[in-house]
Chain A
Amino acid sequence: MDLLTALDALFVEFEQALAGAASLESLEALRVDALGRKGRLARIMSRLPELAAQARPAAGQKANSVKERCTALFEERANALLAARESAALKRFDPTLPGRTPWRGSLHPTTLITEEICAVFTAMGFDIVSGPEVEHDYYNFEALNMPAAHPARDMQDTLYITGQMLLRTHTSPVQVRSMLVRRPPLSVIAPGKVYRRDSDVTHTPMFHQIEGLVVGNLINFAHLRGTLTTFVCAVFGSRTKVRFRPSFFPFTEPSAEVDISCSLCGGTGHVAGGPCRVCKATGWVEILGCGMVDPTVFAAVDYPDSVSGFAFGMGVERVAMIRYGINDLRMFFENDTRFLTQFVRG
């Protein structure tokens, strides 16, 4: 067979072989066999010197043309096989199988609420501070205008370590500690754990509070209202109504309790014809205590008469219960993961 005929035969055979190849692998084998470096085309062309010199360019062109056509055929066939393979693979693909999800973590609701509240206040320029949980009677009571025989001590049943050392009953001692290490003006917020000797359906012996303190010249009750109203709107929504009602704390005067309109009944006091269980049909929910810093407290930290300030404190669990609709305080400390995993910050 002369060289040119052999080239033609190569193409025809290649075409036939391709048609019979069922896999990409056999296809590739055919390609190598025909067009590879040591393949049949190469072997045919190795006979080029047999030809007369003037016939060689034509033979070369023919070889190139056969190679191009073979390659085109190969690619067409390979693409077809590839497409068939992909479509077959796609048929087996089940997009609904579960993903390889990493562990799902969560933050405790008291952490979420504490951070949310702190963020509101830091945006207003407050500094976050902390203090010890085992406190001296002086910081927890004395310096806050609650001397030993003060009936207000009955409001907070105390867990003692010694006669003078105790588990802080509120975050208010951080007020005193902050004022002792800073000079006015100051605005601080102190989140943390507090302890009371109390345990029933609505009380746990440990819970979380956030304390706030602002001291400066010309700070007045209107600033207190403005600050806490901003806070309530940020945390409970801008349509929440706020009510300031006179109350008593030994370390503030005037003192007030802040009530917000009940989110369950919308402040009407009634749900579905019955009394609202969250606000006990009053339409209001008590959310925090506050007041203007009592002059006795300023005297205890040696601040001048000319300053004034306000302080406030709130229970974190209480806020969390209202925000998330949690109805049992004890759940916070049972750490059932079915409870914990419900709280993630998106």
Chain B
Amino acid sequence: MLLSLSWLREFTPYEGSPEALGDRLTMLGLEMEDIVRPYRDISDIVVGHVVACAPHPESDHLHVCRVDAGLEEALDIVCGAPNVADDQKVPVALVGTRLPDGTAIKKAKLRGAPSFGMICSERELGFSDSRDGIMVLPQECQVGARLVDAIALDTEVLDISVTPNRADCLSILGLARETALAFDLPLHIADLQLVEDPTEQQVLIDIQSPDLCRLYAGRVIAGVSIVPAPMRVRHRLHAHGVRSISNIVDATNYILLECGQPLHAFDLDRLEGGRIVVKRAGNGEKITTLDGQERILARDDLCICDARRAVALAGVMGGLNSEITEQSRTVFLESAVFKPEAVRKTSRRLGLSSEASYRFERGIDQQRSIFSLNRACAMIATFSGGRVLRGVACAHPTPFIPARITYRPARANALLGIELSREFNEKSLLDIGCAVEKSAAESWLVSQPSWRPDITREADLIEEVGRLYGLDAIPSLPLPVLRDGGQGGQSLHAFWSRVKHWAAGLGLNEAVNYSFVGHKDLDHLGLPEQGRVSVLNPLSAEQDVLRTALAPGLLQTLRNNLAQGAHGLRIFELAYSFEAASAGIGDTGVCVCETGKLAVLLYGARYDAVWPYIEADADYADIKGIVEHLLHFLRLPPPVVCAQRDAPACLLPCVDVRCNGEEIGQIGRLKPALAEPFHACKDVWLAELNLDRLRALHDKIVMRFAPLPVYPPVRRDITVIAGHSLHAGKVLAHLANLKNPLLVESVLTDVFEPEGQDVPEGERRLTFRLTFRHPDRTLKDAEVDRERENVANSLKQSLGVRI
């Protein structure tokens, strides 16, 4: 809400600076965002008097003017405007002045005639787009005065951010009320004398939807002529960001800003039957609003109609079919109060918000509707030469009844944490406009001011008292120790936090990507369409679905980093993936499954530095090692992996990871063809694990100490010769399944693929180190050799390998 200081001063004698006012209002909950000085750019323009004006001898359209601008000598100024004339008061830009568009005024010669300045148009000064030549000022303007002073422009305007509860502060009057309260100043509302014509107005008001319209009033002004509003009004609107249209419309906007009551002017001659009907729209009914758009209405849209058709969308915007035009002679001026929810609904549905709807949604001071109507009529009569006919056409289905609130000063103290006197309580309530009945010492009856729709409960009054006392003046108290009713134990947040620290400690960089991606990103990776959760109103097609996997985000991160010239990337992310539960997405409950995931992406160079490392790219062993490390960190057994035969489209190879028999995720390499759009020319390794399952498994683990062995181990190597199809894991699993009590550990120590003609295709040698130990004595060499032999035989028999 823009607030001009000079307008404010018409209501309350505030003499301080805009800064001081802004600071004080801010601390009362009306935050000042900015101080606007709309006429800073033209502050050097002065008032000049055209003392002589003669046609330029060398031109058919230029004039050479003699202008008294308050300087010692009158100036010669060449002017090209057709409307310049003798004895005019005009705005003059002297030599050295800069116009709002940046033009610097210099001494010039136009077709031989010297010119020492420029007579300005409204357009050049930024007032309007008018091309009607130079701006002509009222004769009373003093020569040599600054233009901004001479025509009393609103040079200081505060931009106040008004919270949705403070409907009353969406007007100069409301902000003046707060200013008066803040600085203990009187509030004065000057009367505009309304002279009624003896002819009685004849408009009938018929409210057919009284649930949506609380008050509808109107007056008729006859014999108006449509001309521009007086300069003062046009400029004031301009300073408050409102475009000037005509004397009638400008008057309604002026009162809207001043009193907060939206008004609408109809051309009465275009209202059929001379009556107003307020009713719900017919389904599919159409109306063309003032902005020229055709709107299709729904059953709950409230319309203002004449005898035949809709002429306005109640509280939102007028209709084109009844608007004021240059031909209008009779005006019907509406001042109404509509149900806030109804206006909001229509405004939201049509995506059409106006100064009027904004105020109606937040609440109107119903007690001031007629006052504002009369004030606007008085203005219009002055501006247009019209006659205000006698009487107000009015229907008033829901009169304003102030809420009567029980107020306990002791409750205010208890909630605010301070001891306020009863006197302070009472004064504060009276100051904000409440009526206070001290019916009992402990409990008062307080009536709501008509302009404060937000004050209906005790809590609202306590807030007001606290606000006036100053929330910043309330002392600080330490929080008493509360016995929290929480479940205790390991929270989800703590678990995630530990995994994040593990990953960072391991040397991975944490990324955070948006939870939404595009359907096409999921399609690209061949992720199933089923179970996707789409966003109904996405900002863009890149963000129209919740991610079902973290991979798309990490790949986006990869692309961003490769674009910055990264050679290698090791990133991780912890986040939810979203899937529609099998029940589907209903309107009744939360049916979207949020699964905690950990994803890791490795790409390119294994190490950032070269020396003393051997240069190599990250590979399967790196990503798998990270998964193994995590399971160890969570005290879980090593992962059991299995290459997927019917792998999903995006990973190849794709390896299922299980732990304690539960599937916990996948590891794999992004198919090179799919990696191309991310500009990845090396292998992209991905791991995506289900954190919820890992957490559940981890929670079951109890950390227990295992006694250290007393007797020394004996080690033997065994080399298995077999084809590629025999996976190392199969040998290890076989060794584990032997359940030989002496064989305590088997580790793969070497993989060798011999070359040569006598070596069968695809043969390789896997060397395992077997560790034997007896719990109660030292093993003898011969004994161990025998055990190794047994192991070798069993491998030969069961797996068909050579040793």
**Interface residues in chain A, defined as those with a beta carbon under 8 Å from any beta carbon in chain B:** 97-98, 100-108, 110-111, 115, 118, 124-130, 132-136, 149-152, 154-155, 159-165, 167, 182-188, 191, 193, 195, 197, 199, 204-206, 214, 216, 218-223, 225-227, 229-230, 243-248, 253-257, 292, 294-295, 308, 332-338, 340-341, 344
Distance of A322 Cα from B654 Cα, bound (Å): 43
Structural contact, A185 and B482, CB atoms closer than 8 A? yes
Distance of A229 Cα from B477 Cα, bound (Å): 10
Q: Given A244-B471, A245-B27, does the pair A187, B484 have CB atoms closer than 8 Å?
A: yes
Distance of A102 Cα from B506 Cα, bound (Å): 8
Structural contact, A105 and B509, CB atoms closer than 8 A? yes
Structural contact, B26 and A125, CB atoms closer than 8 A? no
Q: How many A-B residue pairs have CB under 8 A?
A: 271
Q: Given A98-B609, A225-B475, does the pair A167, B415 have CB atoms closer than 8 Å?
A: no
Can you offer 23 A-B residue contacts whose CB atoms are under 8 A?
Answer: A97-B612, A98-B611, A105-B507, A127-B491, A154-B164, A159-B539, A161-B536, A162-B536, A165-B591, A182-B485, A185-B484, A214-B482, A220-B415, A222-B416, A222-B475, A222-B476, A223-B480, A227-B478, A243-B472, A244-B474, A245-B31, A246-B29, A248-B165
Structural contact, A337 and B561, CB atoms closer than 8 A? yes
Structural contact, B514 and A98, CB atoms closer than 8 A? no
Distance of A253 Cα from B607 Cα, bound (Å): 55
Structural contact, B564 and A338, CB atoms closer than 8 A? yes
B501 contacts the other chain (CB 8 A): yes
B344 contacts the other chain (CB 8 A): yes
Return A330 CB to nearest CB of chain B, in Å: 11
Distance of A207 Cα from B471 Cα, bound (Å): 29
Q: Which residue of A lies closest to B534 (CB)?
A: A161
Distance of A229 Cα from B537 Cα, bound (Å): 39
- Which single member of A126, A134, A150, A155 contacts B592 (CB below 8 Å)? A134
Distance of A336 Cα from B571 Cα, bound (Å): 10
Residues from chain B with a CB closer than 8 A to the CB of A152 are 164-165
Structural contact, A225 and B514, CB atoms closer than 8 A? no
Structural contact, B566 and A221, CB atoms closer than 8 A? no
B362 contacts the other chain (CB 8 A): yes
B214 contacts the other chain (CB 8 A): no
Structural contact, B539 and A199, CB atoms closer than 8 A? yes
Residues from chain B with a CB closer than 8 A to the CB of A295 are 457, 459
Distance of A108 Cα from B500 Cα, bound (Å): 9
Q: Which residue of A lies closest to B557 (CB)?
A: A335
> Which of B29, B345, B591 has the most A CB atoms < 10 Å from its CB?
B29
Structural contact, A248 and B491, CB atoms closer than 8 A? no
Q: Given A133-B594, A223-B480, A253-B459, does the pair A151, B514 have CB atoms closer than 8 Å?
A: no
B663 contacts the other chain (CB 8 A): no
Structural contact, B486 and A182, CB atoms closer than 8 A? yes
Residues from chain A with a CB closer than 8 A to the CB of B588 are 164
- Which single member of B494, B507, B566, B612 contacts A98 (CB below 8 Å)? B612
Residues from chain B with a CB closer than 8 A to the CB of A125 are 479, 481-482, 484
Structural contact, B484 and A107, CB atoms closer than 8 A? no
Residues from chain A with a CB closer than 8 A to the CB of B585 are 161-162, 165
- Which single member of A102, A108, A183, A226 contacts B478 (CB below 8 Å)? A226
Distance of A226 Cα from B415 Cα, bound (Å): 14
Q: Which residue of A lies closest to B471 (CB)?
A: A244
> Which of B345, B479, B503, B561 has the most A CB atoms < 10 Å from its CB?
B479
Return A179 CB to nearest CB of chain B, in Å: 10
Return B655 CB to nearest CB of chain A, in Å: 22
Residues from chain B with a CB closer than 8 A to the CB of A163 are 587
Residues from chain B with a CB closer than 8 A to the CB of A243 are 472
- Which single member of B478, B486, B493, B608 contacts A191 (CB below 8 Å)? B493
Q: Which residue of A lies closest to B587 (CB)?
A: A164
B707 contacts the other chain (CB 8 A): no
Structural contact, B543 and A205, CB atoms closer than 8 A? yes
Q: Given A98-B612, A186-B484, A254-B463, does the pair A132, B590 have CB atoms closer than 8 Å?
A: yes
Return A239 CB to nearest CB of chain B, in Å: 16
Residues from chain A with a CB closer than 8 A to the CB of B586 are 162
Sample of 16 further A-B pairs with CB below 8 A, known A118-B493, A127-B488, A165-B587: A101-B609, A127-B486, A128-B491, A134-B592, A165-B592, A167-B535, A185-B483, A205-B516, A220-B417, A221-B418, A223-B480, A226-B477, A248-B164, A254-B467, A308-B415, A340-B509
B11 contacts the other chain (CB 8 A): no
Return B792 CB to nearest CB of chain A, in Å: 38
Residues from chain A with a CB closer than 8 A to the CB of B474 are 221-222, 225, 244
Residues from chain A with a CB closer than 8 A to the CB of B590 are 132, 134-136, 165
Structural contact, B361 and A151, CB atoms closer than 8 A? yes
B294 contacts the other chain (CB 8 A): no
B460 contacts the other chain (CB 8 A): yes
Structural contact, A335 and B471, CB atoms closer than 8 A? no
Residues from chain A with a CB closer than 8 A to the CB of B505 are 105
Q: Given A186-B482, A225-B475, does the pair A128, B510 have CB atoms closer than 8 Å?
A: no
Distance of A115 Cα from B500 Cα, bound (Å): 11
Structural contact, B507 and A102, CB atoms closer than 8 A? yes
B341 contacts the other chain (CB 8 A): yes
Structural contact, A221 and B560, CB atoms closer than 8 A? no
Structural contact, A344 and B504, CB atoms closer than 8 A? yes
Distance of A204 Cα from B608 Cα, bound (Å): 31
Distance of A206 Cα from B561 Cα, bound (Å): 21
B492 contacts the other chain (CB 8 A): yes
Digitize B594-630: 1 where CB-to-A-CB distance is under 8 Å, 0 elsewhere.
1000000000000111011100000000000000000
Kindly identify, within residues 569 to 588 of chain B, every residue whose CB is under 8 Å from any CB belonging to chain A: 569-571, 575-576, 578, 585-588
Q: Given A133-B515, A164-B587, A221-B415, does the pair A246, B28 have CB atoms closer than 8 Å?
A: yes
Kindly identify, within residues 152 to 168 of chain B, every residue whose CB is under 8 Å from any CB belonging to chain A: 163-166
The 3 closest A-B pairs by CB, nearest first: A103-B507, A222-B417, A246-B29
Q: Which residue of A lies closest to B563 (CB)?
A: A336
Distance of A337 Cα from B457 Cα, bound (Å): 53
Return A48 CB to nearest CB of chain B, in Å: 40
Q: Given A243-B472, A247-B163, does the pair A167, B515 have CB atoms closer than 8 Å?
A: yes
Q: Which residue of B lies closest to A136 (CB)?
A: B590
- Which single member of B27, B344, B493, B571 contacts A149 (CB below 8 Å)? B344
Return A225 CB to nearest CB of chain B, in Å: 4
Q: Given A185-B485, A245-B31, does the pair A223, B539 have CB atoms closer than 8 Å?
A: no
B340 contacts the other chain (CB 8 A): yes
Residues from chain B with a CB closer than 8 A to the CB of A195 are 515
Distance of A167 Cα from B591 Cα, bound (Å): 13
Structural contact, B484 and A229, CB atoms closer than 8 A? no
Residues from chain A with a CB closer than 8 A to the CB of B477 are 220, 222-223, 225-226
Residues from chain A with a CB closer than 8 A to the CB of B467 are 246, 254
B414 contacts the other chain (CB 8 A): yes
Distance of A285 Cα from B747 Cα, bound (Å): 60
Residues from chain A with a CB closer than 8 A to the CB of B166 are 248
Structural contact, B341 and A221, CB atoms closer than 8 A? no
Residues from chain B with a CB closer than 8 A to the CB of A245 are 26-27, 29, 31, 471-472
Return A157 CB to nearest CB of chain B, in Å: 9
Distance of A294 Cα from B592 Cα, bound (Å): 30
Digitize B522-562: 1 where CB-to-A-CB distance is under 8 Å, 0 elsewhere.
00000000000111111100010010000000000100110
Residues from chain A with a CB closer than 8 A to the CB of B613 are 100
Q: Which residue of A lies closest to B477 (CB)?
A: A222
- Which single member of B345, B466, B491, B503 contacts A129 (CB below 8 Å)? B491
Residues from chain B with a CB closer than 8 A to the CB of A336 are 560-561, 564
Q: Given A134-B594, A220-B417, does the pair A340, B504 have CB atoms closer than 8 Å?
A: no
B462 contacts the other chain (CB 8 A): yes
Distance of A103 Cα from B543 Cα, bound (Å): 33
Structural contact, A187 and B479, CB atoms closer than 8 A? yes
B511 contacts the other chain (CB 8 A): yes
Structural contact, A337 and B571, CB atoms closer than 8 A? yes
Distance of A105 Cα from B570 Cα, bound (Å): 9
Residues from chain A with a CB closer than 8 A to the CB of B296 are none
Residues from chain A with a CB closer than 8 A to the CB of B612 are 97-98, 100
Residues from chain B with a CB closer than 8 A to the CB of A184 are 485
Structural contact, B416 and A220, CB atoms closer than 8 A? yes
Residues from chain B with a CB closer than 8 A to the CB of A244 are 471-472, 474
